[in-house]
Amino acid sequence: MMTWKLWRALHTPPANHPLFEHIASQPEWFPSRSLGLLWPVGLGVLTLTFLIGVWYVPQVVMPMLFHPHVALLIGLLLFTGTVYGFAWAISISSMINRMRGQGKYDLLRLSSLSTFGVNWTICTGYLYRQQLFKRISLQHTRATQLALTLTGALIMPILIGLVSSNQEFVLSLLITGLHIITIAAAFQIDHVQSVVMGSLIAMITPIYTRNITDTRIFAGVTFLSLQLTTYLISWFVGFELLPGSITALLMEREAVELVIPILRVIVFYLTREIVILTLWQVLSYHLQANRAELDLLAA
């Protein structure tokens, strides 16, 4: 899959190349540097809000804690990769355009690097400023691991339900655990694909723009448009089309509730994979990039 190949390549940047070292060593501007605080600060505010709510209105807050749609909304606000992808798409594309305006970009193309290699080195060098890319990815990984760990708390109640032959209780716990797992997986996928999409758009945008203002607008609008489109398509297919279709195939309600969450994650991933594959084809056409070069970067 193109998503994971590009993701592996982002984790193996050309760290020893002078261009990478030069860009990665530059000081980061404040808004981008503060991206690393988004998850811990947001989680702290969310935790404090829930604690206050549990103390004053527990009858309202407690049911919300275990509602999948509430978890989905919170995740979209705090853990989605839209913020990171948007900021990096604008910043990296602006840097490439600025270097081209200064004449540095054309000089770099005369070096041993290919045109794609120049863009890729600039892109990864910016991502690794102050190790921001690694820190944010680690935060998302830990959040996913925490969500998956929480499902372990359901093991004991499930065993008790099995011993007492309470099948309805066991099934409800299994469905709850499955929702937690699929939501956690969806947010991790979203983070990975948002960063990949932002990086590809950042390298494509300077091909079509000539000044910094146009570059920022093009990159920002393109990223947000594709992001919103994939969200809406995934929502429509996963929440509007799938339930009716699966219900018609599987008559048992329990089977439907177990299958639908998994299919929703698959639809979400494939929808964005198609977009990433299309962006790669555009980039390959203009910068003469090929799969062999990407395989080498990802190795």
278: left (phi over 0), alpha (psi -120 to 50) or beta: alpha
Kindly indicate the confidence band of residue 120, based on its pLDDT and cuts at 50, 70 and 90: very high
List the end-to-end C-alpha distance of the chain, in Å, as a whole number.
14
Condensed to tens digits (0 to 9), the pLDDT of residues 236-293 reads 998 888 888 877 776 677 777 788 889 999 999 999 999 999 999 999 988 887 777 7
Mean pLDDT, the chain, rounded, equals 80
| The pLDDT of residue 66 | 55
Residue 182 identity (one-letter amino acid): T
Task: Give CA–CA dist 220/210, Å, rounded.
Answer: 15
Range of the domain at 176: 2-298
Say what the pTM is. Answer: 0.81
Total count of domains within the chain:
1
Better-predicted residue by pLDDT, 117 or 154: 117
Which range is least confidently modeled, 145-154, 200-209, 272-281?
A: 145-154
- Which pLDDT band, with edges at 50, 70 and 90, does 161 fall under? low
What does the pLDDT read at residue 292? 75
C-alpha distances (whole Å) from 104 to each of 24, 68, 201 are: 16, 50, 21
Alpha-carbon distance of 166 to 164, in angstroms, equals 5
Q: What is the DSSP string of the chain?
A: -HHHHHHHHHHS--TTSHHHHHHHTSPPPHHHHGGGGHHHHHHHHHHHHHHHHHHH-HHHHHHHHT-HHHHHHHHHHHT-THHHHHHHHHHHHHHHHHHHHTTHHHHHHTSSS-HHHHHHHHHHHHHTGGGHHHHHHHHHHHHHHHHHHHGGGGHHHHHHHHHTT-HHHHHHHHHHHHHHHHHHHHHHHHHHHHHHHHHHHHHHHHHH--SHHHHHHHHHHHHHHHHHHHHHHHHIIIIIIHHHHHHHH---HHHHHHHHHHHHHHHHHHHHHHHHHHHHHHHHHHH---HHHHHHHH-
- Which tens digits make up the pLDDT trace of 58-82? 666 556 655 656 655 565 555 567 8
- Above 70 in pLDDT, residue 14? yes
